[in-house]
Structure 1
Amino acid sequence: MTAQQPLVTVIIASYNHGPYIEQCILSVVQQTYPHIELLVIDDGSSDDSVLRIERLREQYGFDFRVQKNQGLTHTLNDAVARSKGSLIAPFGSDDVMLPERIAKQVAYMQDKPEVGICAGNIELIDSQGGLYSEDRQRRDIAFRRLDFDDVFMERKSYPPAPTLLFRKQALEQVGGFDPEIRLEDLLIELKITHAGYYIDCLGEVLAQYRKHGANSSKNTPFMVDSILRSYALFKEHPQYEFVRTRFLSSMFLKCANRDRSYARQLLKQIPFRHWNKKTWRGLARLYFAPLERRS
């Protein structure tokens, strides 16, 4: 592979996404960029994912392995270790790449060794693949460059997970994904920017993120625990306590009229001196708003 056309390794860790996995894989093999190594790993699915993937493997010849469930971060680390590409794109098995995604990111990252991660914007689709037309704020975010403080302090819009393209060198430099923290996106972004790299986010849509009932973001306690543990690894930062309690207040507000028992647990972790407008709004929801029934 020439320096002008690096090999890109796309890693799809599949787990019980039978209804979506075929569209996901097809969106990778149909990329306009020709130099892609596709590694697909089924991480112990109990649905028909393996049969669906095997049919596509016979047609397109990508690398496919089946394993007992190990979890996403273990699976990603194993795949990165055997990848041949200098650029790595972990990709959710329920999401969809737009056709020129990889080509655009590779072209951008050429001659920018300071960029450890390139990302872009997303559009939201539902379980049937239909667009959420009202959700344009994720589509229209302008270009931004993020350093460590931008990510840690949430000073700029986060790079969406379905668009992340990593330099393998940067991943290896920071020791890869942390197997103890299964929600991997925030921590790897913090680690790579803390090592001195930038995250550059292109101001165009590169992928579609599928919203459905099994998204990991729907599991609020799991998400909160992972994010708090990620922040705690950088507790020496002078704004650590502010960042931690601001996040807790946001999640308290979100849960206050959805899961009141869990909301009270979150509130107990916020010292009164760090209460903000969201904390007070959450209190109003907790005690005065009707309980929201979630489907």
Structure 2
Amino acid sequence: MENPLVTIVVVSYNHSKYIKENLDSIKKQSYPNIELIIGDDASLDNSVEVFESWLQANQYSAITNFHKKNTGLATTLNECIGLANGKYIKLIAADDFFHFDYIKNCVALFETTNADLIYTKAYGVDENSKILNEDFFGSPEFKNNKELRALLYNGNFISGAAFIVRKSVYNKIGYYQRDVLLEDYDLVLKMLNSGLVIKYLPQSLLYYRRHDGNITKTKFDLLQAHTIATKIKYDIHFEFDSVINGNILKQLKQLNPNLGLIKKGYYKYKKRKLFYYLLINKPFLIKSFIKLRLI
């Protein structure tokens, strides 16, 4: 079987501690035809030096894109994707690493199906690479894109850490937007709206790093608001209004201060609830309505 070129893009921001393990896992891939691109977004640690040292010590060729000034993840990803020559592109953060058969098994499925994106299970590992579980993101079963889309509106389980795409996907639907916080979720929903095909490979083929420390409530609230905004953006036929309005009600009750982020999109959403929209516009009323048990 022909072995088409696969581009692996490694992106780093202050990941120097994990870079060697990541690059070692790329070098050990059982698949023979890999192009490596390395991007660093002006790390404050010695990530660039670690990259350069490993490449020299291993005599491994790579295209490098090292920023002197921090520009954000989307810009770094887009630049690296623009440099890619592979038929398939795999993006990976430098603190995660591969099972040795990740590329081989994914390419085999690509070459025998019409998949535009393939995602796998992922091991969850701690900071010392100890395996915590074998399916970190959870992987519900689905029969087709319609079922998959319904599942994704109830919660995202397709992480960019575990998926690989045809390069043609970016030509069809565009690159990552700088103002999108949940770039993986945005990409997947955009693909489904465009009729592109997503396949699941039920094997744990990647190691996803779970760092110590819980997510702060401030960041969690922000992510919840962005998640709702993404759902509204892609629910163009208003199939999931009950889910979206239910999400908004829950965040109103929890006094999420970031719901203003959905104001513009929710105003245009034909199945919005006017009462919820009023409260999003006048958040000082929310506590009173909670006390009166009106929400």
Tell me what 1:236 maps to.
236
RMSD (Å), alpha carbons = 3.4
> Is the Cα contact below 8 Å between 2:193 and 2:234 reproduced in 1?
no
Write the letter of the residue equivalent to 1:173: K
The 1:213/1:170 distance shift into structure 2, 3 A limit, reads same
Deviation string, structure 1 residues 169-209 (Cα, Å, up to 9, x no partner): 12210012222203210010011121111211111101111
SS of alignment partner, residue 19 of structure 1: coil
Find the counterpart in structure 2 of residue 172 from structure 1.
Answer: 171
Q: Distance in 2 between matches of 1:178 and 1:246?
A: 27
Q: Share of identical aligned residues, percent?
A: 23
User: In the aligned structure 2, how far is the partner of 1:92 from the partner of 1:55?
Assistant: 18
**Cα 1:56–1:16 shift into 2, 3 Å:** same
Counterpart code for 2:129: G
Moved more, 100-109 or 25-34: 25-34
CA change 1:188–1:205 in 2 (3 A) is same
Normalised TM-score (structure 1): 0.77
In structure 2, the residue corresponding to 1:229 is in which secondary structure? Answer: helix
The residue identity in structure 1 corresponding to 2:105 is K
Q: How has the CA–CA distance of structure 1 residues 142 and 188 changed in structure 2, closer, same or farther, with 3 Å as cutoff?
A: closer
Give the one of 36, 43, 46 matched to 2:44: 46
Report the CA distance shift for 1:252/1:52 in structure 2 as closer, same or farther (over 3 A).
farther
**Pairwise CA distance, 1:157:** 7.0
The Cα shift of 1:216 comes to 8.1
Deviates more, 1:156-165 or 1:67-76: 156-165
C-alpha change, 1:119 and 1:146, in structure 2 (3 Å) is farther
TM-score (norm 2): 0.77
1:252 offset after TM fit, Å?
7.7
Gaps of 5+ in 2: 264-271, 277-289
Instruction: State whether residues 9 and 89 of structure 2, in contact with CA within 8 Å, keep that contact through their aligned partners in structure 1.
Output: yes
Deviations 1:22-60 (A, max 9, x none): 211221222111111110111010011111111112122
CA distance in 1, matches of 2:137, 2:106: 16
Give the Å deviation of 1:215: 8.9
**Is 1:89 equivalent to 2:90 in the alignment?**
yes
- Largest Rg, 1 or 2: 2
Q: In structure 2, do the counterparts of structure 1 residues 246 and 105 end up closer, same or farther at CA, with 3 Å as the change threshold?
A: farther
Equivalence map 1:15-30=2 (5 Å): 15-30=13-28
Return the letter of the residue paired with 2:46. Answer: D
Partner of 1:291: none
- The alpha-carbon distance between structure 1 residues 139 and 156, as it changes in their structure 2 partners (threshold 3 A), is closer
Cα distance in structure 1, aligned partners of 2:214 and 2:19 = 14
In 2, Cα distance between the equivalents of 1:249 and 1:90?
A: 35
Compared CA separation, residues 23 and 11, structure 1 to 2 (3 A)? same
Q: Which moved more, 1:200-209 or 1:20-29?
A: 20-29
Q: CA deviation at 1:127?
A: 1.1
Cα displacement (A) at 1:248:
4.6
Assess, with a 3 A threshold, how the Cα gap between structure 1 residues 237 and 118 changes in structure 2: closer, same or farther.
same
The whole-number CA distance in structure 1 between the counterparts of 2:6 and 2:14 is: 25
Find the counterpart in structure 2 of residue 108 from structure 1.
109
How many correspondences in the alignment?
A: 265
